[in-house]
Amino acid sequence: MAFKLKQFTNCRILRDHKIQKEDLWIRNGKIINPEKIFFDEKTIADIQIDCKNAIIAPGFIELQMNGGFGYDFSYSEDTEKGVNTVAKGLLSHGVTSFCPTIVTSPQEIYHKVLRKIKKRCGNADGANVLGIHVEGPFINVEKKGAHPPQYIKNFIMGFETVMETYGTLDDVKIMTLAPELASSCDVIEKLVARDIVVSVGHSMADLRHGEAAVSCGASFITHLFNAMLPFHHRDPGLVGLLASNNIPPEKTVYFGIISDGTHTHLAALRIAYRTHPNGLVLVTDAISAMGLEEGKHRIGQFEVEIREGKAFVAGTNTLCGSIATMNECVKIFKNATGCSVEYALEAASLHPAKVLGMSDKKGTLNFEADADFILLNDDLDVLETWISGERVYFKPT
């Protein structure tokens, strides 16, 4: 089936930032140019699929999620089972690729967990794993959020401390750190040289620290507005990176933003969108309780409880992650900002692919890209999910 030529008809395709009436052709897991079919091969499709006027968009890419469906990635038990369960569960929410996120943990947890989570291609058993996002422990304890303070570290011996802490960076794709920490620039440069995206967050940094981190190679901001200094008109902090004149014009600083209706006020969503739309990336920051009922669950070393649709560190009023799914965040963001359908979908697909430097293969329906896509109705409900040209989920009717 994977090598058969498939033609999706009666559909509206998101391509080149606009939704257009056009057929989609795929073969061998890739999106192909139909002109070659017509003029060079002079053949017809092996399989025609009537999409009943559905929207076809690139599959969602999740850069920050701590777990879901009862599993937490930062807890050393059943790591492989947890990743597999979440990867499978994400398909019904339109996510075709994700970065499992490990929050601040004891060193022995990193040495166990980071060796168990591997990059892999997705299929009917679950979404692609593009690499691990390590969020901590090199953060500022004053902006720890739900991170246990006893495990937060400084770069005591620079990059040597990083390697000692994690044990391996083989499958790490993103690292969140506080740029105000001593030796952070040297660490950032060494991480970027290893093709690891450096994100600034959980930080007390002022704008100057943020700009210095970007000059050293940082290119992402972890959950904008959350776990950082609030915007101030004399020093806007990391938020100021969205409008800084000290960022080279050829470089885009991207930022994750949680549009679950809880972590970020709807007005703040609008401010971020109107200030720097090219850099906006939707993330869920989902925890193990995503997809579960209210009650007590885990995130890393903490017990959490779900009350009234929100996740808190147990016994406190500290928010510790979202329980919203990506397709819910897309809908909330679109309704809050009034942006186009095209933009809302690309903020969860094309933009995160650009963060990872993978926008030639992921987050797009351009020719030769991976055939990872979703079918949606006009309410943006996920009807079907496809990975490498094979259907891996369909909504029961």
Report the alpha-carbon distance of residue 308 to residue 324 in Å, rounded.
13
- For 66, half-sphere exposure in the C-beta direction (CA atoms, 13 angstrom radius) is 30
Question: In a 3-state reduction of DSSP, which class is residue 148?
Answer: coil
Q: Which of 171, 206, 260, 285 is catalytic?
A: 285
Cβ neighbours around 305 below 10 Å, total: 17
- Going 46 to 380 to 222 to 107, the CA torsion angle's sign is negative
Residue 389 CB-half CA count within 13 A: 20
Distance CA 301, CA 74 (A): 8
Cα separation, 259 vs 240, in Å, equals 20
Q: Are 117 and 74 within 8 A, CB to CB?
A: no
The reply to whether 285 belongs to the active site is: yes
Tell me how far apart the alpha carbons of residues 373 and 364 are, in angstroms, rounded to a whole number: 8
Residue ranges in the chain assigned as alpha helix (H): 34-35, 79-90, 107-113, 159-166, 184-193, 207-216, 266-275, 326-337, 341-347, 350-355
User: What whole-number distance in Å separates Cα of residue 80 and Cα of residue 61?
Assistant: 20
**Contact status, residue 278 vs residue 82, Cβ threshold 8 Å:** no
171 within 8 A of 102, measured Cβ to Cβ? no
Active site residues: 285
